[in-house]
Amino acid sequence: MSKSKFQTFIFELYEECNVRDVNKKDLVAFLNSISQAFDFDGNGILDAKEIISALSVIFSGSKADKLKALFDFYDANGNALLDF
């Protein structure tokens, strides 16, 4: 699933669920972080293996795996540093 298709899916879900306490600008930033963290091979596409791997880490991975996934999520530019 391309980044744009993933975002379109989330936006449609956003509209369908009538979410009003999250603005679209914040949602876009969140989606960019998720897309980057889950795109393990860096090709700009979330394939089924990457989505399943990410969900597996989130729901059944070790503490170290979960910590790495969380770090990757917040490492917005991929430089292995958390910028504030």
pLDDT in tens, 55-69: 777 678 788 887 887
As a whole number of angstroms, the distance between CA 62 and CA 59 comes to: 9
Q: Which amino acid is at 6?
A: F
Residue corresponding to tokens 């430089």? 79
Inter-residue contact 14 to 28 (CB < 8 Å): no
User: pTM here?
Assistant: 0.49
Task: Give the residue extent of every domain in the chain.
Answer: 3-74
Q: For the chain, what percent of residues have pLDDT higher than 90?
A: 0
